[in-house]
Amino acid sequence: MSNADLSAELQLQTALMLLKQAGRELSVDAEPGSTPWLQAVVDALCDLSSRDALTGLANRRQFELTITREIDRVARAGEPALVLMADIDYFKRVNDAYGHPAGDEVIKVVAAALQDCVRPMDTVARYGGEEFAIILPNCPTAFGLTVAERIRSKVERRPINVAPGVDVNVTISIGGAFAPQWVRSSAALWVERADRQLYLAKTQGRNRVCLEHAPVVLVSAEEKGMLFGTSQFQDLE
């Protein structure tokens, strides 16, 4: 076996080990080493790299890729789109009272509740720690509020087993912002607007939803500078 072949074999074995450790099984009925089998390995690795290990949601990197594409689509098509930022209330109390494994269980259950409340076309991501982000394309104002309230209510009503015979209930605060239509904004500006609404939800008592009432009509100086910018995805369509 040549050095190149040996290197390729080692890389393949490393890839398979990573998939095994993550509990990912190849969903393909093909001979190991065949082209369909190798493609399945590549596809599984790509999916693994875009998922949060604890929750199975999209990870921060995948969220950033998705929101950048959505910004481009909104600038071109002008359809309403909403980003929600959600944060578990008083999460530190769970870790302090029951330990970090209990905190992980809370994060997983909340993640599942969020995923249950959205459409297949929406993206739910673990943004970091106990914070989540949701991108809702083609989302009218009334629909966004309905979804956000559905998420808040479902989390509030779902008991979470954190120890033998011990269930807890947690709540979340949600902030949301609409992308400015027909404007090439940026992920940072859009998320910042949603974060401001999340801050309001926290300061107003938690376990509540605060959304911008309508898509932003005031365009920032930075967005004006990007108004005639070039899409980084225009060659991919």
Q: Is residue 139 part of a domain?
A: yes
- 154, amino acid identity: K
Which domain, by its residues, includes 37? Answer: 3-49
Q: Is residue 187 part of a domain?
A: yes
Are 74 and 159 contained in the same domain?
yes
Residues facing residue 126 across a β-bridge: 132
pLDDT for 36 = 66
Residue 79's SS3 state is coil
Are 230 and 122 contained in the same domain?
yes
pLDDT for 50 = 73
Residue with tokens 């578990």: 88
pLDDT along the chain (237 residues), means of 10: 54 61 61 65 60 91 92 87 97 95 97 96 96 95 92 97 94 94 84 96 97 63 52 41
CB-facing half-sphere around the CA of 11: CA atoms within 13 A: 10
Are 101 and 209 contained in the same domain?
yes
Structure-block tokens of residue 73: 């689509």
Count structural domains, the chain. 2
pLDDT for 78 = 83
Are 24 and 100 contained in the same domain?
no
Are 21 and 93 contained in the same domain?
no
CB 61 within 8 A of CB 50: yes
Are 145 and 75 contained in the same domain?
yes
Q: 17: exposed, middle or buried (C-beta count within 10 Å: 0-12, 13-18, 19+)?
A: exposed
Distance, in Å, from the CA atom of 182 to the CA atom of 159, rounded to the nearest integer, reads 42
- CATH classification of the domain holding 150: 3.30.70.270
Q: 166: exposed, middle or buried (C-beta count within 10 Å: 0-12, 13-18, 19+)?
A: exposed
pTM: 0.76
Q: Is residue 54 part of a domain?
A: no
Catalytic residue among 9, 31, 70, 130: 130
pLDDT for 181 = 76
Are 106 and 186 contained in the same domain?
yes
Phi-psi region of 197 (alpha: psi -120 to 50; beta: other; left: phi over 0): alpha
Distance, in Å, from the CA atom of 182 to the CA atom of 199, rounded to the nearest integer, reads 27
Residue 88's SS3 state is strand
pLDDT for 77 = 86
CB 55 within 8 A of CB 104: no
Q: Is residue 121 part of a domain?
A: yes
Are 9 and 126 contained in the same domain?
no
Active site residue 130: yes
Note the pLDDT tens digit of each residue in 133-145: 999 999 988 899 9
pLDDT for 166 = 94
